[in-house]
Amino acid sequence: MKQPLTIGFIGLGLIGGSIAKAIRYYYPDTRIIAHTRSQATIDYALNEQIIDIACDQVDARFSECDYIFLCAPVEANASYLEILKPLIQPGCILTDVGSTKTDIHTHVADLGLEGQFIGGHPMAGSEKTGIANAKRHLLENAYYIVTPTSKVPKESVEAYVELVRSLKALPLVLDYHEHDFVTGAISHLPHLIAAALVNLVHNEDTPSETMRMVAAGGFKDITRIASSSPEMWEQICMTNSENILKVLNDYIRNLEDIRVALEQKNGSAIHTLFRESRDYRNSFSDLSAGPIKKSHRLYCDLVDEAGGIAILSTILASRGITIKNIGIVHNREFEDAVLMVEFYDADSKVCAVEELRRYRYTIYEV
């Protein structure tokens, strides 16, 4: 890969910010330029040295880019293609991170930009928005769907896939129509269902709001994504409505079957529903950061329970290692209580093990 690269960002929130942070970490010499809607984002990105150049508009400075990442909501991303067309050089690759792909591929074809466009979609994220929530680890171990046009050179696709892989994501090349059907089922419909369920409970709640008060793990697990950005999700739903409608109709039919089973007190149908869903859900891999995050944990002996956590965290902090989670574990796997320490990535865990062994800690399950 040519080094150092110049990379442009339009939109620099949760996803753009996470990619920029990862690029800054793995390719410190990269020149990163960015345009975004909010001045606060630009100030943060400059202060944290995530970007080198802030652009108040998309202008000739983007001509120097080897890659331009469109990281705004999907309809906003498409609106920048026309502005970028006269600016970009022949070798520049335009890419996006949008959750829908057919819409942007259509705009790309209409503008004759197919030779320079590779769609992208990291299958990682959260209900939070903004660069302050962006993490360089976000892409780690997550599938990153890549949708090249048929006209973009093979070598450009290979270089892009390599870039994605070097940021520790798992590239997966897909046709963009297939992408939109798949994400309609595993991402877009679930977001609509979560939002509808939360609104249902809001409307059904008692005058003293007992539902809101007692809502526990089950409700919170299935509705976390109902806190996502309305602006982003409106644009996703408006650019993939056909696929969403197809799976939504199938889903409504499934709910109607459930209604009949309940009306007829058909316990065996309900049992089958839960058995089949459990078996399929349990077959999901935890390799990708998608449904279940891969964790980077170590377990070690508790030297002195009172001050043990403070001492260990000071040792790790002195090496610049950030702890994601820490806690005392009492379970049958270990004879005595041990300390569980979780890190954001594999590299941090390796450094931590090395450092703690230097201080004569006994480490388990590394």
Ligand X SMILES: O=C(O)C(=O)C[C@]1(C(=O)O)C=C[C@@H](O)C=C1
The residues that touch ligand X, with contacts defined as CB under 6 A, are 99, 123, 125-127, 187, 225
Among 6, 8, 10, 188, binds ligand NAD (CB under 6 A): 10
Q: Which is nearer to ligand NAD, 178 or 209 (CB)?
A: 178
Q: Which is nearer to ligand X, 24 or 179 (CB)?
A: 179
Which of ligand NAD, ligand X, none has residue 187 at its interface (CB below 5 to 8 Å by kind)? ligand X
Q: Which stretch binds ligand NAD (CB under 6 A): 24-32, 97-105, 248-256, 358-366?
A: 97-105
Which of ligand X, ligand NAD, none has residue 243 at its interface (CB below 5 to 8 Å by kind)? none
Q: Which is nearer to ligand NAD, 30 or 229 (CB)?
A: 229
- Which of 113, 4, 13, 144 is CA-nearest to residue 66? 4
**DSSP strand pairing (117-122 vs 338-343):** unpaired
Size of the chain in residues: 366
Minimal distance in Å, beta carbon 18 to ligand X? 12
Q: Does 236 sit near ligand NAD (CB under 6 A)? A: yes
Q: Which is nearer to ligand X, 67 or 233 (CB)?
A: 233
Among 6, 36, 141, 348, binds ligand NAD (CB under 6 A): 36
Which of ligand NAD, ligand X, none has residue 152 at its interface (CB below 5 to 8 Å by kind)? none
- Taken in order 288, 290, 296, 297, the sign of the CA dihedral is negative
Q: Does 38 sit near ligand NAD (CB under 6 A)? A: yes
Q: Which is nearer to ligand X, 6 or 187 (CB)?
A: 187
CA distance 36 to 57: 8
Within 40-59, the residues that bind ligand NAD by CB under 6 A are 41
Q: Which amino acid is at 294?
A: K
- Residue 72 Cα to chain centre, angstroms: 14
Burial 70-99 (b: 16+ CB within 10 A, else e): bbbbbbbbbebbeebeebbeeebbbbbbbb
Q: Which is nearer to ligand X, 8 or 122 (CB)?
A: 122
Which residues contribute to the site for ligand NAD (CB under 6 A)? 10-16, 36-38, 41, 71-74, 76-77, 97-99, 121-122, 125-126, 129-130, 229, 232, 236
